[in-house]
């Protein structure tokens, strides 16, 4: 990753049939969808790693099919985050981290650990979980982000805990100004609507562009933004519209 802070904008996944003929040109082979999407966006959040293990060959292929400056984020497996005893997730975390993700090489971005909506911001439980997340593997630095789905539920002590482990707290439309806890920021935007051709009204995209530019400049941190959920068919258009405003 460059030492110059960057704002990267993308979508969750790239295989979504309703995008065919809307985002993807009619007749584009499915095997070329990643190549097409990565030529118009600057990052993609890989969802498949949330549901099951991926093969090293898949990570190599994703690396080879995307531009040199492209970056993926990876969702950590649900078997690690969707359990009552987070301290017991060690074997699952280890299997995930050794599954071949380093085949992405310089295109490996943050790892997102997404917790169920009802997960409380319990400092003790999360301290045990964060102890399981290495800062590097095989000499490669790792970045971790935690999503509570209820960022406002995070207490000052919880924020301090994340800061101590240099783990980012994911923000979203409802809470766009969470305290920085890492050397990067991670945002999920779920407000796309069918009524807007670019998913969000122009003024909302303008506001996000300004907020991201100020955050990146003030904190000298990389920002990763993903349009997911909501009217998902509009997500690629929203991401491209925001990228245009950022001129990146």
Give the sign of the dihedral formed by CA 103, CA 37, CA 141, CA 105. Answer: positive
Choice between 151 and 242, residue whose per-residue pLDDT is larger: 242
Whole-number Å distance between alpha carbons of 206 and 228: 18
How many structural domains comprise the chain?
1
**37 membership: H or E segment, kind and range:** helix 33-38
Q: Is the pLDDT of residue 224 over 80?
A: yes
pTM of the model: 0.94
Average pLDDT estimate for 122-130: 94
Range of the domain at 117: 7-246
Rounded to an integer, the average pLDDT of 114-128 is 91
Kindly state the average pLDDT of the residues 88-104: 97
Q: Is 17 left (phi over 0), alpha (psi -120 to 50) or beta?
A: alpha
pLDDT at 1: 46
Is residue 2 a part of any domain in this protein?
A: no
Task: Return the pLDDT at 151.
Answer: 63
Q: Is residue 125 part of a domain?
A: yes
74 within 8 A of 46, measured Cβ to Cβ: yes
- Listed range (21-35, 60-74, 111-125) with the worst mean pLDDT: 111-125
Residue 198 maps to a domain = yes
Structure tokens at 131: 């102890």
Q: The domain that contains 208 carries what CATH number?
A: 3.20.20.410
The answer to whether residue 142 scores a pLDDT higher than 80 is yes
The answer to whether residue 1 sits within a structural domain is no
Q: What's residue 196's pLDDT?
A: 97
The mean pLDDT of the chain is 93
Mean pLDDT value of segment 7-36:
97
Q: Is the pLDDT confidence value at 248 over 60?
A: no
Residue 182 lies in a domain: yes
151-209 confidence digits (pLDDT tens): 677 888 999 999 999 999 999 988 766 668 999 999 999 999 999 999 999 999 999 99
How far is the C-alpha of 227 from the C-alpha of 189, rounded, in Å? 5
Residue 178 lies in a domain: yes
Strands (DSSP E) contained in the chain are: 7-12, 43-46, 71-75, 108-114, 136-137, 140-141, 144-147, 168-169, 171-172, 184-189, 222-227
Q: Is 80 exceeded by the pLDDT of residue 99?
A: yes
Q: How far is CA 38 from CA 82, 102, 135, 236, in A?
A: 30, 19, 27, 11
């Amino acid at each position: 990753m460059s030492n110059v802070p960057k704002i990267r904008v993308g979508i969750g996944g790239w295989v979504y049939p309703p995008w065919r003929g809307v985002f993807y040109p009619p007749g584009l082979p499915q095997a070329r969808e990643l190549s097409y999407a990565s030529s118009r966006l600057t990052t993609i959040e890989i969802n498949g790693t949330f549901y099951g293990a991926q093969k090293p060959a898949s990570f190599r292929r994703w690396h080879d099919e995307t531009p040199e400056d492209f970056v993926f984020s990876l969702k950590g497996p649900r078997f690690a985050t969707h359990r009552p005893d987070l301290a017991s997730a060690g074997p699952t975390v280890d299997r995930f981290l050794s599954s071949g993700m380093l085949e992405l090489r310089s295109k490996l971005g943050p790892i997102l650990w997404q917790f169920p909506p009802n997960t409380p911001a319990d400092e003790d439980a999360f301290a045990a979980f964060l102890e399981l997340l290495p800062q590097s593997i095989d000499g490669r630095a790792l970045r971790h982000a935690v999503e509570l789905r209820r960022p406002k539920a995070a207490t000052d002590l919880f924020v301090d805990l994340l800061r101590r482990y240099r783990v980012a707290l994911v923000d979203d439309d409802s809470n766009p100004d969470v305290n920085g806890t890492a050397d990067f920021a991670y945002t999920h935007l779920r407000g796309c609507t069918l009524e807007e051709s670019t998913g969000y009204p122009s003024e909302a995209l303008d506001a996000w562009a300004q907020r991201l530019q100020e955050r990146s400049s003030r904190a000298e941190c990389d920002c990763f933004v993903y349009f997911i959920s909501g009217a998902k068919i509009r997500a690629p258009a929203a991401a491209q519209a925001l990228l245009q405003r950022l001129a990146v």
